[in-house]
Chains A and B, each alone.
Chain A
Amino acid sequence: MSEKFEPTIIGFTCNWCSYRAADLAGTARVKYPPNVRLVRLMCSGRMDPTFVMKALAGGADGVMITGCHPGECHYIDQNYKALRRFLLLRRTLAGLGIEAGRVKLVWASAAEGVHLAEEITKLVEEIRALGPLNWPKWDEQAEHQPEPALEVAA
């Protein structure tokens, strides 16, 4: 396997800022690597940590959470809630042995197409350096482990 590792990254964007930043990067023809696939949410406050777990469990090597800059959330201050959830989530992931650097929080306003593209480019490189996330292996391992000796009445 001498080929360059191409990570898959799922990006969560808010409808008002970061998704529009992605639109702007497009209209301005700013280039960035094709490894990120975006999901649109109405607000970063909608970011349920389950979505991140789902993405990592489903084969993503990294996750990018984006929203409006603090103080600029379309719904007043929900991005602060996103920030809190993000910090908590990182701790949970660390507990699972997943590198903190696989999940990143980025603020991008609707005018910051270039900034968003730069952050995506950076994250792709960072995750490339970390290598693939082999989440599915745990399931396999789990399967190979002997069943716990707990007999539930059939």
Chain B
Amino acid sequence: MIPVEDIRARAKDLLQSGKVRAVLGYRRSTAGLLAEPAFMTTADETAALVLDPTCVGNLALYLVNEKKRMKHARQSDKRPLGIVAKGCDSRAITVLLQENHIRRDEVIVLGVSCETGGMIDTRKLNKALRGKGATSAHFEGEGGVRVSYVGGGTILPGKDVLADRCLECAKSYPLDADFFFGEKVDERPYGPRFAAVSAIAEKGSEERSAFWDAHFERCIRCYACRAVCPMCYCDECVVDSTNFIVGPTTSADEKADRVRWINRSATPSENAMYHMVRAMHLAGRCIDCGECERVCPVNIPLRLLNTMLEREALEMFQYTPGIDAEQPSLISSFRDGDPNDFVR
């Protein structure tokens, strides 16, 4: 277990010395089991910082959102942001660096290892508890996870509670951190990479199509999956009809001629279009933080779409996103040896 005091002390020091304008970390939430994002700007606030298997969220999103926010801020504080990052979160930061969305000196990474196994999956908990919300969850080593809910408690095996992405995680610690907390554990006791998507991919196309039709029909297009994704940073999203950018200089013609790629109605065909386009735009970029799937209120297994493309990128181009900030990104690079001659 990583002593949380160490992280608090570091965060406090960064704030006191004025090296950062804020530290992004986690704190307990009044809303439920999962820890919530904390934007700490004073040393006192660091006392509330927590780190445990409920710190599920990927805070790299806020590097993107803060950049957007600072664009409009009257005075901009140019100091970097401190950020607590797990392995997957740090890969997201690295992709943002690969894509020149942020600069390395704009962040100070407080990297943490997921040495205890990984993060809780609330969907799995819901399944085990038939929808009763869990109020606490504690790892008890080999024994599993002790879970309590209003009116009772139980112990569940780790793999029934940990997120699939954690079970399949290839590097459960950050490769690029300014400060590092915990042990770098390379042996993972769980399943192989791509286990979940491989199980679906091997089914016939009709079965897969029926599987996705049934899921897309349930999507309410709340756009939580897109809003939470650190890679979905575009100011304007082609498949989100709700965030057209209109500025003072947008002409009447531009407004009138705006192509609406999909309708606002959350019908199966529009939903399918939305998800397919989003998945394609994440190929070679998604670092499998699992946030899109976690936040979906109706439990659409979005991770399967993204890991499928991650698998393709690996198999076809031997490419893994988010492991090296100097590596050119998959979409913006080509190789002389590419099998397709239209590229060369």
A and B are interacting partners: no
A residues touching B (Cβ–Cβ < 8 Å)? none
